Amino acid sequence: MRKYMQEAEIFPYKIMAVDDDAGILDSLKVVLKRSGYDLTCFSNPVEAINELKNNHYDLLLLDFIMDPLHGDQVVEEIRTFDKSLYILLLTGHKDLAPPLETLKKLDIQGYCEKSNNFDQLFLLIESGLKSVDQMHIINDINEELKDKNEELEKAYLDTIGILRQTVEAKDPYTRGHSDRVSEYSVLLGTKLGLDEKSLHVLKIGGLFHDIGKIGIPDSILLKESKLDDEEYSQIKNHPSIGAHILGDAEIFKDILPIVLHHHERFDGRGYPSQLEGENIPYLARIAAVVDTFDAMTSKRSYRDAMPIGVVKAEIKKCSGTQFDPKCAEAFLDILENEYDKIENIKNKYQG
């Protein structure tokens, strides 16, 4: 919290809270304003919508069950004129939480149960504002590049380098991970016979696939023991956060499927969209194999790197369930017959 309180003095994030319970609004106003946030409150969702049409806000805290409009109806209206507003839905009853399909359809970044303890809400607000900050950077860059087509590629790669390093600086155990995933992806894509354009998308998508981790609290990313269910649930938000950060920038549109879907599983049990089989974008299926390979062969705070024999067996075991069988088979062939290329990449980008 301290970091964002300091930053709020330089960049005053504008937060709106909408709830038909005046007591909740009073509590939010006291607690958030005490922490340095600029908070505007509305008890009438229709008035809140009109305000959002006429003024910019960075983050919206929105009650789910309200009169005369429920939260999902409010969001549906907001998304007709604002696709980028970061929205956290609040619910007073766990059994009345919005369906997952609703959150996805309306691009709602998350929801939180109401409580007298605001710690969980603060974590979600902090994560949301990190994402908002990155969106501002991306949008500023995108605006600057509109009339500079000849400089697009250089600015594109420079941007990737800056933001990627921001993510990896948070976690020393993942340093070099994105570089390796990028090059492994190109290696596997080449093996599968992809054209140059697709290989380029794989290269950039690999560098940027974990950008959403900028919105995950450090306490979770750096935890040395096993994550609990709530913490793992927050980690699983990073593909959606990454896609949200990059979604408004035209220059990143080709890599969005990789960023959003590199944790989908071939059997449909992955996240965030539970896509199955060939419904998963092909380049995301490629990235999924090499991302898992690098995770297994890299040292982590809670375990050593796995032996290559164990890794091969695991990839073979998960072919057809976690991984696209064709992608898994091609990568196993690389591991069997072209392992020197893997070693060269690992040596180039030591974690």
Tell me the H-state helices in the chain. 2-10, 22-34, 45-54, 71-78, 100-105, 119-145, 152-170, 177-191, 196-208, 218-221, 229-235, 238-246, 256-261, 282-296, 308-317, 325-337, 339-348
pLDDT in tens, 2-24: 344 444 344 468 999 999 888 88
| 32: its two tokens | 């958030």
The whole-angstrom separation of Cα 22 and Cα 50 is 19
Q: Name every residue whose Cβ is closer than 8 Å to that of residue 241 and which is 6 or more positions away in sequence.
A: 109, 127, 131, 212, 213, 214, 215, 216
Whole-angstrom Cα Rg for the chain: 21
pLDDT in tens, 104-148: 777 788 777 777 677 788 888 888 888 888 888 887 777 776 666
Bridge partners of 319, per DSSP, are 323
Q: Name every residue whose Cβ is closer than 8 Å to that of residue 285 and which is 6 or more positions away in sequence.
A: 264, 266, 323, 324, 327
pLDDT in tens, 270-284: 999 999 999 999 999
The enclosing H or E element of 112 equals: strand 110-113
pLDDT of residue 3: 41
pLDDT of residue 11: 45
Domains present along the chain, CATH in parentheses: 2-132 (3.40.50.2300), 149-348 (1.10.3210.10)
The enclosing H or E element of 86 equals: strand 86-91
pLDDT of residue 2: 38
pLDDT in tens, 267-322: 999 999 999 999 999 999 999 999 999 999 988 766 788 999 999 999 999 999 99
Q: How many CA atoms lie within 13 A of 135 on its CB side?
A: 21
Residue pointed to by tokens 């941007």 = 159
pTM: 0.62
